[in-house]
A and B are shown apart, each in its own frame.
Chain A
Amino acid sequence: MKHMRWIALIMIGLLLAACAHQFSGVAPNPIGPAPDFALTDENGQPFKLSDLRGKWILLAYGYTHCPDVCPLTLSHLRDVKQAIDPTGDKVQVAFVTIDPDRDTPDVMRQYVGHFDQQFEYKFKGLSGTPAQIAAAAQPYNVKYEKKADNSANGYSMAHTAEVYLIDPQFNWRMTFPFGIEAQEIASDVQYLMQNSEAK
């Protein structure tokens, strides 16, 4: 009888271990305040990232003339939003251009509008001067450079393509590498939303 109790306890332990969440993203060590920055939003209005304090922010960098990597990232973020907060404003996507020469606020509004059209709470499309963009990119370790190639599409921008998660207390909670699936990001965000004290 005593053995049975031990076996039951071990079984419960194994079950809990199996259910432990495996993160796809990488948490900064230590977790700390998210770097803030000031840019211009898709309506031409001044915007600070910390204006979104109180929401779960999914932050990505790219450019609108990018036909391959950036639409994949934004489609993933649309799918994450659709999966966990389709009608609410708890999850906010912000897309920062690293190509301010071409990506004006008007272009950013049109571009993010292709990915947020089913939502009442829209994505932020952020632009600015080259110096403002550099100041918004550097603290998140975002790297980018202009590449003159012989494409009819004009120059392209090489850039890192991670997604950063910031919690409602404005702490940088996680970095998602390029190439992971939307459901993996959604699973991590959902877990953190439900266990928001867990760090």
Chain B
Amino acid sequence: MKRLAIISVVLMLVVSMAACGTSSSSGNSITVSDAWARPSTMMDHAGAAYMVLQNNGTTEDKLLAVESDVAQTIELHQTTADSGGMMSMSPVSNIPVPANGKTELKPGGFHVMLINLTRELKAGDKIQFTLNFEKAGKVPVTAEVKDQ
């Protein structure tokens, strides 16, 4: 009897977890994790923020813009390396996030560039961003300033 009760509880948990998975994978919902930014060096020098964008939807989505009061201008940038090891950084019009997949914004790749900072960024500070996606719309994100 006791064993039956345990099996029932486990089954209910599995069913409820599966249900959660189904609900989050429908539509074009985006989840953002591991958002962080570097401490600022100088106020007139651009800063950078990084995060992982997870697309739970069945079609590709695109990050189009990022808003925050932390900088006067915020651009999406990508660093790429050529075959000779030259690293160059260019603004991009969007950052694609594949269907049921993720795009990692990380040093040496895609990043959110913070131009003309409105305040100094120190380790431990929190920054509020609003990410604007083509399909998912506006997604609020809190990034921590980390000296890493």
Chain A residues with a Cβ under 8 A of chain B: 64-69, 71-72, 75, 107, 110-111, 114, 143-145, 147, 149-153, 156, 158-162, 177-179
Contact = CB atoms under 8 A, between A and B. Distances in A.
A147 B89 CA distance: 9
A28 B138 CA distance: 51
B102 interface: no
Contact of A75 (B45, B81, B89, B148): B148
A150 B76 CA distance: 12
Contacts of A151: 75, 77, 90-91, 113, 115
Contact of A71 (B48, B89, B91): B48
A68 B85 contact: no
Interface in B78-130: 79, 81, 84-91, 107-108, 111, 113-116
B77 A68 contact: yes
B105 to A, nearest CB: 10
Query: Chain B contact residues (Cβ within 8 angstroms of A): what range?
Result: 20 to 34
B65 interface: no
B85 A67 contact: no
Nearest to B90: A149
A65 B47 CA distance: 9
Contacts of B88: 147, 156, 158
Interface in B122-148: 147-148
Main secondary structure of the interface of B (DSSP, over half): strand
A149 B107 CA distance: 20
Contacts of A68: 48, 77, 79, 89, 107-108, 111, 113
A65 B48 CA distance: 11
Nearest to A161: B87
A144 B87 CA distance: 9
Contacts of B86: 143-145, 158-160
Contact of B45 (A64, A143, A160, A178): A64
Contacts of A110: 41-42
Given A149-B91, A161-B85, 15 more contacts: A65-B45, A68-B108, A69-B108, A110-B41, A111-B41, A111-B45, A114-B39, A143-B85, A145-B86, A147-B88, A152-B115, A156-B90, A158-B87, A159-B87, A178-B108
